[in-house]
């Protein structure tokens, strides 16, 4: 597991926004999007629900959050 993927995931969860996570990680919004997509491809699960009002965790996202925090 790439630690940057887990760190990006946790930052998105913490901020509730991919844009804010990008700002805090000093990367572009598209970098965050690609990292989350890559993470979901590796896990073969959706970890985030994305909509206009923000980001929320899926059930799989909640389970992965515990693992990511341990990393």
Q: Each residue of 42-58: pLDDT tens digit?
A: 999 999 998 888 899 99
Which tokens is 48 given? 């985030």
Looking at the chain, the whole-number percentage of residues with pLDDT higher than 90 is 86
Give mean pLDDT, residues 36-41.
Answer: 97
Rounded to whole angstroms, the Cα distance separating 61 from 40 reads 9
Residue 36 reports pLDDT greater than 80:
yes
Predicted local confidence at residue 54, as pLDDT:
82
Torsion of CA 63, 66, 70, 71, to 10 degrees: 50
Pure H helices in the chain: 3-15, 18-25, 29-43, 59-70
Check whether 71 has a pLDDT greater than 90. Answer: no
Give the separation between CA 60 and CA 48, rounded to whole angstroms: 8
pLDDT surpassing 90 at residue 13 = yes
């Amino acid at each position: 597991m790439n630690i940057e993927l887990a760190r990006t995931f946790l930052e998105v969860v913490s901020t509730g926004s991919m844009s804010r996570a990008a700002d805090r990680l000093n990367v572009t919004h598209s970098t965050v999007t690609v990292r989350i997509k890559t993470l979901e491809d590796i896990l073969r699960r959706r970890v985030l629900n994305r909509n206009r009002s923000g980001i929320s965790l899926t059930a799989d996202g909640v389970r992965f959050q515990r693992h990511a925090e341990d990393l």
